[in-house]
């Protein structure tokens, strides 16, 4: 099999360089899970079970509208966790805008993961200005399903890690670290210095995703996805080692970013 193409961009890249309470109302649900708040509230069975079993959070209150043997069995392993029974009317009045499924968990935010903790993972995913929490949650599900070690996001213009992300991710927020890396261009250079091949998805690319995946893939790869409207920003595109596109044969011009990400990660995993 052929080796990956020589980078189209980033000509200055240097290879081989090692730069190397039992009652009361819960806290607000719109806090970022990575902010300075000491409490978050999660909703939905999958997200709550994942948080209960991950061992990454401090658990405070679990509210249920009915007996749930599985959840209560898991909760019993956390002696400091209060299990509180409430009726559906309480859930509806306390969380009027949430799809709560009559399950809510008050807990601490996830701990911060530094990028240095994931540089030995062979597969990473970078997102450029993905601002919709449902898209981010769905992307996390795909990242977990296809074995990607972390999702890297910029400091600005990214979806905050709200309860919506946690619920949409169906537990993947607990298993796939979301790392705020600040500047994406600097992070791309850092990844390349650690032997990552950075592949961006862009409609103007000449090489298709299947063509790229048909080659012997690099040992370490970072997939870079842009927003639905703007796509990858110019500097991010230029700092990628290679650009590829999803071949479209119908009349639509683009895909939802979470769908495109799922297709990309699945295609690469076939190799």
Q: What is the mean pLDDT of each run of 10 residues along the chain (271 residues)?
A: 46 39 40 56 94 94 88 88 91 90 93 95 97 96 97 93 94 96 95 98 93 92 92 95 92 89 94 68
| Residues 203 and 86 occupy one common structural domain | no
What CATH number is attached to the domain comprising 52?
A: 3.30.1330.30
Q: Do 148 and 52 sit in the same domain of this protein?
A: no
- Measure the CA–CA gap between 235 and 228, rounded to whole angstroms: 17
Q: What pLDDT does residue 172 have?
A: 97
The H-or-E segment that residue 125 falls in is: strand 123-128
Q: Is 252 part of any domain? A: yes
Whether the pTM exceeds 0.75: the reply is yes
pLDDT value at position 126? 98
Q: Are 160 and 56 part of one and the same domain?
A: no
Q: Is residue 128 part of a domain?
A: yes
Range of the domain at 62: 40-107
Domain count, the chain: 2
pLDDT score, position 256: 93
Take residue 11 and report the two structure tokens written for it.
């000509």
What are the backbone dihedrals phi and psi of residue 224, each rounded to the nearest 5 degrees, phi first?
-115, 120
Per the domain annotation, does 19 fall within a domain? no
CA dihedral 227, 4, 13, 148 (to 10 degrees): 50
Q: What pLDDT sits at residue 188?
A: 98
pLDDT at 199 (0 to 100): 98
């Amino acid at each position: 099999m052929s080796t990956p193409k020589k980078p189209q961009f980033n000509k200055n890249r240097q290879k081989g360089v090692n730069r190397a309470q039992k009652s009361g109302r819960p806290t607000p649900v719109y806090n970022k899970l990575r902010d300075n708040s000491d409490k978050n509230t999660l909703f939905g069975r999958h997200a709550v079970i994942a948080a209960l079993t991950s061992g990454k959070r401090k658990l405070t209150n679990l509210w249920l509208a009915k007996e749930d043997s599985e959840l209560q069995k898991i909760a019993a392993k956390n002696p400091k966790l209060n299990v509180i029974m409430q009726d559906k009317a309480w859930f509806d009045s306390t969380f009027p805008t949430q799809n709560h499924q009559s399950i809510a968990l008050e807990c601490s935010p996830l701990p911060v993961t530094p990028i240095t903790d994931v540089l030995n993972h062979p597969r990473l995913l970078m997102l450029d200005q993905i601002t919709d929490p449902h898209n981010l949650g769905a992307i996390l599900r795909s990242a977990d399903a296809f074995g990607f070690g972390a999702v890297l996001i910029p400091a600005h213009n990214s979806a905050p890690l709200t309860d919506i992300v946690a619920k949409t991710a169906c537990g993947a927020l607990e298993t796939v670290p979301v790392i705020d890396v600040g500047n994406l261009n600097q992070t791309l250079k850092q990844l390349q210095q650690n032997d990552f091949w950075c592949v961006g998805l862009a409609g103007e690319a000449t090489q298709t995703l299947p063509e790229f995946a048909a080659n012997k893939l690099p040992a370490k790869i970072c997939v870079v996805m842009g927003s639905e409207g703007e796509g990858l920003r110019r500097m991010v595109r230029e700092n990628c080692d290679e650009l590829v596109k999803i071949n479209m044969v119908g009349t639509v011009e683009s895909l939802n970013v979470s769908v495109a990400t799922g297709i990309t990660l699945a295609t690469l995993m076939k190799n």
